[in-house]
């Protein structure tokens, strides 16, 4: 069984919508709604508030079809991390490279960016900062029109490759980081307001 939850303090009725079934959710403390459901590990789902159109999970980890599409479960425990011995980076005097995944290489993906990390090391880069990876409308975006903070956009290859790219620099550049901008989110951020006040 898996617990699904969403914060929707103004809703009078909330339902979890799966591809083949709909499940009423139970209201709890402080505006949270919950339901326990048997689901596949990679199930796609949405929430419906007061019988309205299905909306993606504002805290979901995958939005394979963009910010207005269905959310998809993602098990972060399935990735094999290889950086247990990494102890961090002294930022004093370090060269930080802000990398926009969509424009750094012709391929515009994390995989193709990983292939060019040696180039950054040759330039003296110590820290690679991945510019915002939040899902955005369409296929091409410049990073600052994303909507939800948790998932990474599928055009850049999504969460599985984010995990891989964050471990790869350990042996090449020294570290990686990512950014999420709250001040330049695109107008599609209004999607979040359908479940909760902002």
The values of phi and psi at residue 129, to 5°, are: -100, 115
pLDDT of res. 49? 96
pLDDT of res. 20? 93
Rounded (10°) CA dihedral 179, 185, 188, 192: 80
Q: Yes or no: say if 19 and 8 are a contact pair by the CB < 8 Å rule.
A: no
Give every residue of the chain whose pLDDT is below 70, as ranges.
132, 134-198
**What are the structural domains of the chain?**
2-77 (2.60.40.10), 83-178 (no CATH)
Structure tokens at 36: 């326990």
pLDDT of res. 79? 76
pTM of the full predicted structure? 0.67
pLDDT in tens, 91-134: 888 898 888 877 888 887 788 888 888 899 899 998 888 876 76
pLDDT of res. 138? 61
H-helix segments, the chain = 101-104, 110-114, 117-122, 158-167
């Amino acid at each position: 069984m898996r617990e699904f939850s969403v914060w929707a303090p103004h809703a009078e009725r909330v339902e979890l919508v799966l591809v083949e079934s709909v499940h009423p959710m139970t209201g709890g403390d402080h505006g949270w709604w919950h339901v326990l459901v048997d689901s596949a590990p990679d199930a796609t789902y949405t929430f419906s508030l007061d019988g309205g159109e299905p909306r993606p999970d504002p805290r979901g980890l995958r939005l394979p079809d963009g910010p207005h599409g269905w959310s998809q479960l993602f098990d972060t425990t399935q990735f094999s991390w290889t950086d247990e011995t990494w102890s961090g980076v002294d930022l004093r005097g370090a060269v930080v490279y802000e990398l926009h995944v969509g424009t750094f290489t012709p391929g515009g993906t994390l995989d193709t960016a990983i292939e060019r990390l040696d180039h950054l090391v040759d330039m003296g880069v110590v820290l690679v900062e991945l510019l915002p990876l939040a899902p955005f409308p369409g296929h091409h975006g410049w990073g600052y029109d994303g909507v939800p903070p948790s998932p990474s956009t599928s055009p850049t290859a999504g969460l599985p490759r984010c995990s891989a790219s964050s471990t790869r620099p350990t042996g090449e550049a020294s570290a990686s980081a990512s950014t999420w901008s709250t001040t330049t989110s695109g107008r599609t951020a209004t999607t979040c307001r359908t479940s909760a006040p902002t």
